């Protein structure tokens, strides 16, 4: 019975790969016998610099590391490893407890434990077993998180597809919107990259641009498709679309980051926009970017009641509206794009012609 349990334990231990680093060959040999007997997949290295490269190129679950070595000490080894591997579980061996590195160094380098060298490895084995249990728990947590992420990704995909269907419905109602949201999305991303936004914010801009007019699903067709000038009442109906869009998206938490774009892309920097009459930096930053992209596409798109505006007129408009309709700093960035990098704008326009 006991032998069967030991075989089972050894089989479980074989899932974990341990690297030991000590410049004394005898220590490595002893650890090899000791740890392989316990069933672990074991690699021993006497050169600390070689150990760093092994960890860089292979997967190890746990490292047993001598502190006083040549040509570099154990803390220097950990310093290098932590630059590219934050997860490796590390146990430090010391010839004497007085020779261990300071506690703040152990904490800073995230060394999980240390013990003194001994002819017997009982204490070290206990630390290793404890470390392996921690690693097993972390692996289980990662597995659960991955499963949750996959579920979340599937849910997100379903929601996006549902909203995409609504977007196409809006485009069927309003011929002007066809291609407009795609272009606004790409213009906004272009501006976002120019101002150095993070990949996460760029992604939010992209999706926000695609769905910024989703609220037009709640605007009557006769208003969206009207070819003559809108009455004040009809224009009031149009002005409801940001709030309608925000309400539609509010039912799913995955859209929480794009709701500020959808709701506030018609605010003006001087506070005379809608629906919240927000002013200046009260307006969410990504909404300020989308407002510029949206206005530019509106100016350069052909409408039933007017042709698209020439680029020199568009540039004049952005100069005129700097600090009133648009954030002045973002306006300057976009004017630079229009005046010096218009080929990037043209490429997006031609993509959706």
- For residue 186, CA distances in Å to 203, 246, 270, 330, 345 come to 11, 21, 26, 16, 9
pLDDT of residue 344: 94
Range scoring the smallest mean pLDDT among 29-33, 173-177, 234-238: 173-177
Confidence of residue 13 (pLDDT cuts 50, 70, 90): confident
| Residue whose tokens read 């990037």 | 344
Q: How far apart are CA 328 and CA 341, in angstroms?
A: 19
Catalytic residues: 216
Confidence of residue 12 (pLDDT cuts 50, 70, 90): confident
CB atoms within 10 A of CB 70: 8
100 Cβ neighbours under 8 A, 6+ residues apart:
67, 92, 94, 106, 114
Residue 266 has pLDDT above 80, yes or no: yes
Residue 3 has pLDDT above 60, yes or no: no
pLDDT of residue 7: 55
Residue 98 has pLDDT above 70, yes or no: no
Which residue did the predictor score with more confidence, 4 or 200?
200
Long-range contacts of 21-25 (CB under 8 A, 24+ apart): 21/45, 21/46, 21/48, 21/51, 21/63, 21/64, 21/65, 21/66, 21/69, 21/74, 21/77, 22/46, 22/64, 22/65, 22/66, 22/69, 22/93, 23/47, 23/48, 23/66, 23/69, 23/70, 24/66
pLDDT, tens only, 35-74: 998 889 999 999 999 999 999 999 999 999 998 888 998 8
Domains and CATH numbers, the chain: 2-134 (3.40.50.2300), 156-351 (1.10.3210.10)
* Dihedral sign for Cα atoms in the order 44, 50, 52, 57: negative
Are 215 and 240 in contact by the 8 Å Cβ rule? The answer is yes
- For residue 139, CA distances in Å to 24, 136, 326 come to 32, 5, 49
Q: How far apart are CA 291 and CA 299, in angstroms?
A: 12
Which residue did the predictor score with more confidence, 123 or 259?
259
Confidence of residue 1 (pLDDT cuts 50, 70, 90): very low
Q: What is the DSSP letter of 304?
A: T
pLDDT, tens only, 124-172: 888 898 889 888 888 887 887 777 777 767 777 777 777 777 777 777 6
Mean pLDDT across the chain = 87
Confidence of residue 177 (pLDDT cuts 50, 70, 90): low
Determine the 3-state secondary structure of 173 from DSSP.
Answer: helix
């Amino acid at each position: 019975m006991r032998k069967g349990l030991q075989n089972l334990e050894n089989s479980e231990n074989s899932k974990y790969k341990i690297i030991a680093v000590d410049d004394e060959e005898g220590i490595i040999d002893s650890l090899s016998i000791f740890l392989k007997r316990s069933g672990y997949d074991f690699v021993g290295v006497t050169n600390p610099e070689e150990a760093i490269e092994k960890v860089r190129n292979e997967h190890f679950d746990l490292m047993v590391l001598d502190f006083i070595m040549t040509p570099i000490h154990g803390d220097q080894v950990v310093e290098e490893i932590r630059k590219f591997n934050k997860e490796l579980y590390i146990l430090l061996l010391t010839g004497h407890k007085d020779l261990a590195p300071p506690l703040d160094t152990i904490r800073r380098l995230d060394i999980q434990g240390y013990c003194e060298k001994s002819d017997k490895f009982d204490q070290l084995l206990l630390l290793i077993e404890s470390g392996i249990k921690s690693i097993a728990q972390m692996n289980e947590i990662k597995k659960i998180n991955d499963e949750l992420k996959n579920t979340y990704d599937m849910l997100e995909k379903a929601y996006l597809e549902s909203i995409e269907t609504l977007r196409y419905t809006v485009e069927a109602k309003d011929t002007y919107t066809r291609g407009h949201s795609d272009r606004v999305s790409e213009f906004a991303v272009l501006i976002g990259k120019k101002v150095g936004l993070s990949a996460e914010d760029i992604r939010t801009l992209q999706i926000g641009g695609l769905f910024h007019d989703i609220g037009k699903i709640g605007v009557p067709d006769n208003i969206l498709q009207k070819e003559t000038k809108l009455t004040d009442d009809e224009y009031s109906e149009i002005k409801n679309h940001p709030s309608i869009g925000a309400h539609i998206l509010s039912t799913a938490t995955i859209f929480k980051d794009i709701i500020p774009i959808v709701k506030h892309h018609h605010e003006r920097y001087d506070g005379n926009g809608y629906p919240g009459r927000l002013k200046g930096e009260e307006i969410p930053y990504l909404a300020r970017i989308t407002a510029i992209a949206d206005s530019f596409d509106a100016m350069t798109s052909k409408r039933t009641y007017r042709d698209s505006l020439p680029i020199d007129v568009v540039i004049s408009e952005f100069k005129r509206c700097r600090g009133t309709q648009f954030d002045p700093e973002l306006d300057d960035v976009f004017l630079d794009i229009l005046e010096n990098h218009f080929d990037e704008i043209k490429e997006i326009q031609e993509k959706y012609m």
